[in-house]
Amino acid sequence: MEHLPLFINIKHRPCLVVGGGAVAARKVRLLLARGGRVTVVAPELDAGLQARQAELCWLEQCFAEHHLDGQFLVVAATDNTEVNARVYQLANRRGILVNKADDSKRSAVIFPSIVERFPLQIAFSTGGGAPWLARLLRARLDALLPGHWGELSRVAGKLRRRVQQAFGSSDERRRFWARVQDDVALTTLLQQRDHAGAEAWLRQAMSKPVAGEVILVGAGPGDPDLLTIKALNELQKADVVLFDQLVSDEVLALIRPEAERVAVGKKAGHHSVPQEQINQLLVEHALAGKRVVRLKGGDPFMFGRGAEELQSLKAAGIRYQVVPGITAAAGATAYAGIPLTHRDHAQSAVFITGHCKQDGEEPDWASLAKGRQTLVIYMGLMRSAHIRRQLLHHGLDGNTPVAIIERGTTRQQRVVRGRLQELAQLAEQVASPALMVIGEVATLADSLAWFPPHADTAGTDTMERCG
């Protein structure tokens, strides 16, 4: 790429814009917002520029070479390619920074897409090759970037030296800002632009030790686009991340590169790290003053033993937060085209786990075998024969439709469908992680399936029907 990204101070510097139309108006707006002394050369101005005449110098003329005299930056933004080329050639010959609005490849300077939270700015460019992609990225970043971060950067700049004195290492400073940046009290002060109040609040926060904290985060069912904005924010602030086997590689790739990663590998039937040891690791890292993310597949409170982990943190006096995630029952079924409820088929949905406690305590099978409801079973593959037997014994029709969704919401998603009486045979065709759906709604996958794998996977259909 030919262009080197730089931030250039143009405050009080002379900037020339050749052209008076909409493109020129956009460039003028950017230059004026950053304090440039703007001169516009054009026989006429569009309405937008006319409204800003008091802020700029308008030369109601056609471009001539002498207009370049003394200029720091020049923008060629007319609708005449020959004029733009001449402006570029003359300015380039003089060694003046020049932007040719209709040809980024022949510009010494290009204007990037910008997301602004003054004084915070994020600038990016595709080198003129895909401006639509730059616009899309700008829209995404604009939605992600908290509105108060501009005010936060102002206040942080004023307190930078004080923070350096209060915290001896860069890690301590980072943890301090990670702890306070989204605090409700500070955010309120910043949104009100109460800089004095925000500074006082931060000075008081600096006097307190930066204690460790654990954030219990739901990673969702697999598709990284289903991760919540808050979850992404926490992954970027973490010192340590303890993650389960069900968390996708795409989600793990979003963790702050410098963060320590600890695989605790919990999966039905394979507990490589005992729960007691996981609890202890959370406590130890937090007591060491670290910001710890406990990353769990789906939602941490949906059959994830998240509450047990919080109880251990509570007993140790450690601060914690919970970031919910999209659970597999909602994500995988939606991607398979199976609604959890439907007016004609199911008025309720029941979520259970097929992985029972060691004491063998069983669910209320009589209640689960009732009709006109959707039964969603997590971690049920290993007990599929038992589940089928109990539901049939308690009166559920053997012809009740069922679906098993393997690796839901990922590109490897596969849906196997059949009848309750075939549940054990269907389970043998599927690998973990998988979700069982039992009920009439499973038949709607025939007409509502939309996720690409069901249509474009080579070799075999991902929506298989048995029986």
Catalytic residues: 244, 266
Both structure tokens of 109? 């300077």
CA angle 211, 217, 220 (to 5 degrees): 170
User: Helix or strand or coil: residue 176?
Assistant: helix
Q: What is the C-alpha separation between 162 and 175, in angstroms, rounded?
A: 15
Q: Give the number of C-alpha atoms closer than 13 A to the C-alpha of residue 354, restricted to the C-beta side.
A: 26
Residue 354: how many other CB atoms lie within 10 Å = 19
How far are the Cα atoms of 139, 178, 223, 234 from residue 227, in angstroms, in the given order?
18, 20, 8, 11
- Secondary structure (H, E, C), 182-206: CCHHHHHHHHCCCHHHHHHHHHHHH
Q: For residues 51 and 458, give the distance between their C-alpha atoms in angstroms, rounded to a whole number.
A: 59
**Which run of H or of E encompasses 349?**
strand 349-353
Which stretches of 192-303 are DSSP H helices?
195-206, 229-237, 249-252, 275-287
Q: How far from the centroid of its chain's Cα atoms is residue 176's Cα?
A: 23
CB contact at 8 A, 16 and 87? no
- Could you tell me how many residues make up the chain? 467
* DSSP helix/strand/coil, 110: coil
Kindly give, in sequence order, each residue whose CB lies less than 8 Å from that of residue 289, ignoring residues fewer than 6 positions away. Answer: 175, 209, 210, 211, 212
| Adjacent-strand bridge partners of 215 | 293, 321
